[in-house]
Amino acid sequence: MGSPTNEVDRIDNEGPQTAVTISRGYWMGKYLVTQGDYLTLIGSNPSSFTGDTNRPVETVNWYDATAYVAALTQRERLAGRIGINSVYRLPTEAEWEYACRAWTSTRFSYGDDPGYTNMTNYAWYSDNSGQMTHPVGQKLPNPWGLYDMHGNVREWCQDWYGAYPGGSAVDPQGPPTGSNRVIRGGNWNGFASNCRSALRNHDGPGYGFDVRGFRVVLAPGQ
């Protein structure tokens, strides 16, 4: 996790780099949760950019996101589509970065791209978004088939925000308590440098803005 000290446009909170072991398998949604997904399950659509329910849901805070995954878990258990000991949840920050990088160590999952010349092929950000969100899955995926990891909307993670421990860690989940939750990924209103795999953000769990959404993780036997 994190970025080397010589990475271009690095921010101090991206270190110290930490060697992470993720010991338990999980599935991550290939797409951001859409407005259609959210509307079907929750019955409302809080988003600012409406008109196409394939756009990611946004203007959701951390509590909204965790309520969604809890409701999704209940629905899918009752339907017999997941085991009674499996849960949908938000990704931990470590799981999110692992999935975003997809075994890469470059600034982006597709390479270092020092001049940001290939960014438009992979992400919606300030230079190409027209100052709005876009339907999920329109840009190229990362090497593991996950879309919009570098842009469109930022993504809430499960963890409280804190400094990386450095050294090595197994299944890290941030500090046990705190005031801010982790937010990862770039967004439609962000600079290209904010779309890097190592970029970290954080905010209070009660704050939802139109640059924030989420994707789900399915954790078996957890």
Residue 222: predicted pLDDT: 67
User: H helices within 32-103, ranges in order?
Assistant: 35-42, 62-78, 93-101
199 SS3 class: coil
CATH number of 12-219: 3.90.1580.10
Q: Which residues of the chain have pLDDT under 50?
A: none
Q: Domain segments of the chain: what residues? A: 12-219
**Burial category of 36 from C-beta neighbours within 10 Å (exposed 0-12, middle 13-18, buried 19 and up):** middle
- Cα 100–Cα 128–Cα 194 angle in degrees, nearest 5: 40
Model confidence over 159-173: pLDDT tens digits? 999 999 999 999 999
pTM of the model: 0.97
Residue 221: predicted pLDDT: 80
Q: Is residue 102 within 8 Å of residue 60, measured between CB atoms? A: no
How many residues appear in the chain?
222
- How far, in Å, CA of 61 to CA of 52, rounded? 21
Q: Is residue 69 within 8 Å of residue 90, measured between CB atoms? A: yes
Q: How far is CA 66 from CA 1, 71, 99, 112, 214, in A?
A: 24, 9, 20, 33, 10
